[in-house]
Amino acid sequence: MARSLRGRNRAGSWEPSEKADSDEDFMKDSFLSGFREFREEIRTFVAENLPDDMRERARRGFHATKEDMRRWMEILHKKGWSAPNWPKEYGGTGWSPLKRMVFEIEMANADAPPRNPFGFHLIGPVLCEFGTEQQKARYLPAILDGSEFWCQGFSEPNAGSDLASLKTTATLEGDHYVVNGQKTWTSEAHLADMIFCLVRTNRDGASQGGISMMLIDMKSPGVTVRPIITQDMSHYVNEIFLEDVKVPVENLVGEENQGWRYAKFLLENERTGSAYLPQSKSDLNRLRSLLAELRENGDTLASNPVLDAELARAEVDMAAHEMMVYRIIDGVTGIDSNAAASMIKARGAELQQRIAGLWIEALGPHALPVYEDGEEEYGIRASPGAMSQYLIRRAVSIYGGANEIQYNIIAKRGLHL
Amino acid sequence: MTTHDDESTGLALSSDESQLQASVERFIANEYTFDHYRATVREGGFNKAFWKQVADLGLVAACFPEDWEGYAQSGTEPFLVLEQFGYGLVVEPLVSGVLAPAAVLVATGERDRFASVFNEMMTGERLLALAWAEPNRRFDLAPEAVKASQTGGGWQLDGEKSTVLAAPHADSLLVSAATVDGPAMFLVPKDADGVELVTHRNIDGQGAADIHFRQVAVGSDALVGKPGEGEALMRAGMNMGAAMTCAEAVGAMDAALKLTVDYAQTRKQFGQAIASFQAIQHRLANMAIELEYARAMLQLLATGLFRGSESDRSAFVSGIRAKIMGCARFVVSDAVQLHGGIGVTDEAAISHYFRKVTALDLAWGDSRYHLERYRTERKAGTDLMASLY
Ligand SMILES: Cc1cc2nc3c(=O)[nH]c(=O)nc-3n(C[C@H](O)[C@H](O)[C@H](O)COP(=O)(O)OP(=O)(O)OC[C@H]3O[C@@H](n4cnc5c(N)ncnc54)[C@H](O)[C@@H]3O)c2cc1C
C-alpha cells in the first residue's frame, strides 16, 4: 500500500500530492499483518514439536517442572529459537522487539511451557553486553540449550524495594572473593546451577556505588538453599545462605563496584518482559473457555451477563495493554523508557490478577480444594491450577519492583516530579 | 546491541502525519487561546472566521478518507486533528456538524449524490446537524418521536428531537424519522416551514437545540437512503461520532494532565509543593498511565476505523471507546481533585476540561453504554486486535 504522499501546496493547506494506488488497498495492512506467515510457522513448529504430555501439563496451570523447561529449551535451541532476544552472534535471532513479542504470544497461545527466564531473559543479555569472552564462552551455550539453570540473587531480608541497601559482602582475597550474607525470595534457586548475585564490594560512599555483580556456582561450599512455601502451597521461592563462599575473580561481571549499572540494565529488561502480555492473552482465552464450559442454573456461565461484562471489560483492557506494549517496545510513545516499562509492568500485573480472580470466581466452591500438581482426578476440568495461579499471582505486583515503586519511577522519570 | 532484520513497523507516525500533527498543534495553540475559547462560547459556540481558517488549512479534508473525496489514509489523520481540537477546547462542531453526518451520507452508498455536500463541508461552507436524539430515549437510534409520512409530492415530518448538537450553526438537518416502512433519514433545510429550534448551550460550550417539526413538507429528494434503512444509517453516524470524539477526549486528557502536573509543582501547602507528596505523585502517575493506555487504544481505533462492515465496526468502536472514555473520566476527575477548591470553579481551565470530557462522554455514549454494546455485539472468538493480525 502506498503510504500517504501528502504535501503542502502553495496556499499552505493540506492535500495529497498523489492518490493512493487503488481503493482495494485501502487500509488492508497493519503493523502486525506482516507477521502472518511467521505466526503460522510458529504454530506449526509447536504443533509438531511440543510433546503432548508437556502441553497437557502447561495447560493445567501449575509451575512448569524443571524437566519440562529443560526439554523445551533443548527443542527450541535446535530451531535457534531458545533465546530470541540475544544478538545473532551469540545464538539469538536478530528479531525486532515486536517480532519477539509476536513469538512469545504464539508460544503462550500454543500452551508451550515457560522457559527459565533467569538465564535467557535476564543474565544472558547482561553477559552478551558486559561479559568477558571467557564468561560468554562458558555460560551462554549452556543457557541456550537448556542444560544450565540460573537464579537471581538480588533481594535480601532487609533489602527489598530498597535494593541498594543490600548487605551481602564480597571481600577480595587473592584470586577469589569471599562472599557472606543472605539472599531471599530466590525463585527456582532449588533448580538452579548458577546464581547471579548483587554483593557489596565497597562499604564506603553511596550505597549504589559499592555494589558488584557476580556469578556463583550453586554447588560451591557454603551455599545453603532453604525452601519458602508460598500461599499456593508450592515450592517456588527460596532463601539462600552464603557462608564464606569462594568465588573466583573471573566470575565478576564487568567492573568491581559497577554492579548497579548492570543491574539496572537487567531490571529494565525484566520490567518490559513483565508486562505479562503473552501469558495474560492466553489466560484470557482460558477464562473464555472456562465460562463457556462451566454451568449454573441450567445454562453456561457465558450467558451470565455480569460475568460476561467482566470478560468483556477484560478483553477491552487486554487490547489496550497489547497495543500499549507494542507501542512501548517499538519506542513510539515519546515517554521516558523507564517510565514506560513501569506503566506496563504495573498494569500488566493488575490485569493478570484480575483474570485469575475471574477464573476462581467462575469456579466458585470448586476452586477451593488444594490440588497437588500431577493429581489426575480434578473434579472439574481446567480447574486444578486456577487457584494456585490466583494465589501466587498476588506476587506479580510485588516482585520485579512493587507497583508502588513503579508509580515512583513514573512520577520521577516520566513526570519529572 | 541487537541488530534488527525487520523493516520499520508502521507504528510510528509517517513524516507526513508528523507534519500534519505539528501544524495543527501550532495552529490551535496560536489561534485558540483560552480567551478565544471563552469568547467563542459567549458568542454561541461558533466563530465563522476560525472555521474558515480550519477549512482553508485543509483540516476538514484531512479528516475525510479518500473515498469520501478527502485525504485521510486511515483514522490517523482525523485523530491528529481532533486530538488538538480536544487539547485546545475547540467547540466548533467538526465531529457533530461534519464527520458524523457525512458518515450517514456515505453509508447510503450514494456517494456521487452527496459529492457536492462533501466538498462544501471540506471548504467550510456547509454544516449538517444529525438530529437523532429524542426526548427520554437516551441512545435509542430507532426513531419514534419524529414521524414521516408520504404526501403527494414528497414527505411530511412531525415530532420532536432533543439536544441536537451543531443544530444552531448548521445549514441543514439530517433527521431520523419513523415511516410505515421503518426508520428513514431525511435531509431537511433548517429554514423549512414548520421547523422550530429552541437553542441552548451545552456544558462544554457547544451549541445544541431541541427541534420541533410541525407539518414540515419536504420533497421526495429529501429522503436519504431507503425507508427501513434509517437505523442502520444512524448507526454509521453514531459509530463515527463515538470514534472521532475519542481523539478529542485524548487531547483533553493530555491537557488536563499537563495542567495538573504544573499546578502541583507550583501550589504549596505545609511549606512545600504538593507535588512532593507521594500520595499526589502516585495519583499523577496513574493519570499518566491511563492517558498512555487511551493513546494506545486510539491508535488501534485509527488502524481499524475505515475498515470492515458497519456491524463489525460497532463492536470494534464500542470496545475501544469504552476503554478510552473510562480513562478520560478517570484523568479529568483526578485532575479536578488535585487542584483542590479552585478545580471546581468556572475560572479554572481544568474545570473546562472536566466539562469537555463529560460532554464528549454523554453525547456519543459513555463507557458503560459502549461496554454493553461491545459485549452484546462482539463476535465469538474474535478480539479487538483481530483486524490487525
Ligand atoms: C514470588 C516471588 C518471587 C520473587 N523472586 C525473586 C527472585 O527470583 N530474585 C530476587 O532477587 N527477588 C525476588 N523476589 C523479591 C521481590 O523482588 C521483592 O519482594 C520486592 O522487591 C519487594 O520487596 P519486599 O518484599 O522486601 O517488600 P518491601 O520493600 O518491604 O515493601 C513492602 C510494601 O511497601 C511498599 N513500599 C516500599 N517502599 C516504598 C516506597 N518508597 N514508597 C511507597 N511504597 C513503598 C511496597 O510497595 C510494598 O507494598 C520475589 C518475590 C516474590 C514474592
Write down the residue that cell numbers 525470595 correspond to: A185
Residue B1: inside a domain: no
**Would you state the pLDDT for residue B337?**
98
Q: Does A90 touch chain B (CB under 8 A)?
A: no
Indicate whether A269 pLDDT > 90: no
**Would you state the pLDDT for residue B145?**
97
Q: Does A95 touch chain B (CB under 8 A)?
A: yes
Residues B354 and B252 in one domain: yes
Average pLDDT value for chain A: 89
Q: For position B365, which CATH number holds?
A: 1.20.140.10
Residue intervals in chain A for CATH 1.20.140.10: 271-414
Residue B3: inside a domain: no
Q: Which residues of A are catalytic?
A: 270
| Residue bearing the CA closest to ligand 1, atom 32 | A161
Residues B245 and B377 in one domain: yes
In which band, very low, low, confident or very high, does the pLDDT at A62 lie, cut at 50, 70 and 90? confident
Q: Report the residue of B263, B287, B289, B382 to disrupt the A interface, i.e. the one with the largest count of A CBs within 10 Å.
A: B289
Pick the last residue of a domain from B197, B226, B255. B226
Residues B292 and B373 in one domain: yes
Over the Cα atoms of chain A, what is R_g? 24
Asked whether A154 lines ligand 1 (CB < 6 A), one says yes
Write down the residue that cell numbers 497461545 correspond to: A109
In which band, very low, low, confident or very high, does the pLDDT at A2 lie, cut at 50, 70 and 90? very low
Supply the pTM of this predicted model: 0.94
**Would you state the pLDDT for residue A121?**
94
Mean pLDDT of all residues in A241-262:
97
Within A80-119, residue ranges assigned H as helices are: 97-109, 117
Residue B4: inside a domain: no
> Amino acid letter at A270?
E
Residues B290 and B319 in one domain: yes
Q: Does A306 touch chain B (CB under 8 A)?
A: no
Contacts of A330 in chain B (CB under 8 A): 9, 11-12
Residues B303, B74 contacting (CB under 8 angstroms): yes
CA B348 to chain centre: 24
- Superfamily of domain covering A150-257: Butyryl-CoA Dehydrogenase, subunit A, domain 2 (2.40.110.10)
Pick the last residue of a domain from B202, B226, B250. B226
Residues B256, B301 contacting (CB under 8 angstroms): no
Complex ipTM, two decimals? Answer: 0.95
Cβ pair A30:B388 closer than 8 A = yes
Indicate whether A18 pLDDT > 50: no
Q: For position B73, which CATH number holds?
A: 1.10.540.10
Residue B5: inside a domain: no
- Find the domain containing B61 and state its range: 15-122
Residues B242 and B271 in one domain: yes
**Nearest-Cα residue of chain B relative to residue A2:** B73
Report the number of distinct structural domains present in chain B: 3
Residues B197 and B274 in one domain: no
From the list B106, B76, B379, B97, the residue with the least C-alpha distance to B246 is B76
Residue B9: inside a domain: no
Cell of A69: 523447561
In which band, very low, low, confident or very high, does the pLDDT at A214 lie, cut at 50, 70 and 90? very high
Pick the last residue of a domain from B52, B87, B122. B122
**Residues whose CB falls within 8 Å of the CB of residue B239, separated by 6 or more in sequence, listed in order:** B103, B310, B313, B314, B317
**Would you state the pLDDT for residue A91?**
96
| Pairwise CA distance, residues B178 & B158, whole Å | 10
- pLDDT tens digits along A347-405: 999 999 999 999 999 999 888 887 766 655 555 655 678 888 899 999 999 998 999 99
Indicate whether A273 pLDDT > 70: no
Higher pLDDT, A31 or B48: B48
Q: For position B165, which CATH number holds?
A: 2.40.110.10
Residue B8: inside a domain: no
Say whether domain A271-414 belongs to CATH 1.20.140.10: yes
Which residues of chain B are under the pLDDT cut of 50? 1-7
**Would you state the pLDDT for residue B7?**
46
